[in-house]
Amino acid sequence: MENLFSAFILGIVEGVTEFLPVSSTGHLILTNSLLGMQGEKIAAFDVIIQLGAILAVVVLYRERFVALVRPRMDMRFSGVRGLWLLCLTSIPASVVGLIAHDAIKQYLFGPRTVALALFVGAIMILVVESMRRNERFLDLDDVTPFLAFGIGCFQCLALWPGFSRSASTIMGGMLLGTNRKLAAEYSFVAAVPIMCAATGYDFLKNYHLFSSNDLLFLAVGFGVSFVSAWAAVKFFIALLKRTTLRPFAYYRLILAPLVLIFWPN
């Protein structure tokens, strides 16, 4: 397959951008274009290495994930209740994504629509940050069924390539009454089931594109994605203690025209 340097670069891009509100799709489009890597196999590779980023979240929040199968009395977000909350968050995007998967690939995965999603997401971040909000939810244990389902509805925006799953869920959480830190942390944790489902679906459809010769390329992308996602999540949570999300909105406004320029014909 392609060289290992390309796998290393794509792994970094995927891991760093997956959980930040900047759109991993837009960044992978630009990176693939600059590296001259196109085609169905590369598109499938971009999806598969998301599993590395997912694993990073599981490791970082392992105490929370362990509590989902081994309930703790001091954690309300655990056991059946925690699983039910994640289910409520995952249902809207899973249903819409399953129904509209082919239409999204056909009509929304183009340079204009992705650039527009980056722009709209940036405006949403700026609007939400300018609003006065009542922050009623401060910790994962404060999450209610209504909040979980509401964030899940906002997560449907992530089905628009370029919008960013992280941006949609974080903004949704903030609009519904969470502080930035909780919105980000719940976005990370809630990403695991929905991303596993989406990645698994794409893998089942495209695994035939790969052979044993591609294993090292996949392993490098997966491993680098894991390490870079771990670092990005730690950095993001620390950053939210000191600043707003506005810098990410400005960054998206810069990225949007670059997608139009570099998107391959």
Q: What is the pLDDT of residue 5?
A: 92
Q: What is the pLDDT of residue 80?
A: 96
Q: What is the pLDDT of residue 140?
A: 96
pLDDT digits (tens, 9 = 90+) for 66-75: 999 999 999 9
Q: Which of 37-51, 158-172, 208-222 has the highest mean pLDDT?
A: 158-172
Q: How far apart are CA 103 and CA 85, in angstroms?
A: 28
Q: Where are the domains of the chain?
A: 4-262
Please say if the pLDDT value at position 264 is more than 80: no
Please say if the pLDDT value at position 1 is more than 60: no
Q: What is the pLDDT of residue 67?
A: 96
Q: What is the pLDDT of residue 2?
A: 61
Q: What is the pLDDT of residue 90?
A: 94
Q: What is the pLDDT of residue 256?
A: 93
Q: What is the pLDDT of residue 172?
A: 96
pTM: 0.91
Pick from 113-127, 154-168, 250-264: least confident: 250-264
Band (pLDDT 50/70/90 cuts) for residue 40 is confident
Read off the pLDDT of each residue in 209-227 and give the average, rounded to a whole number: 91
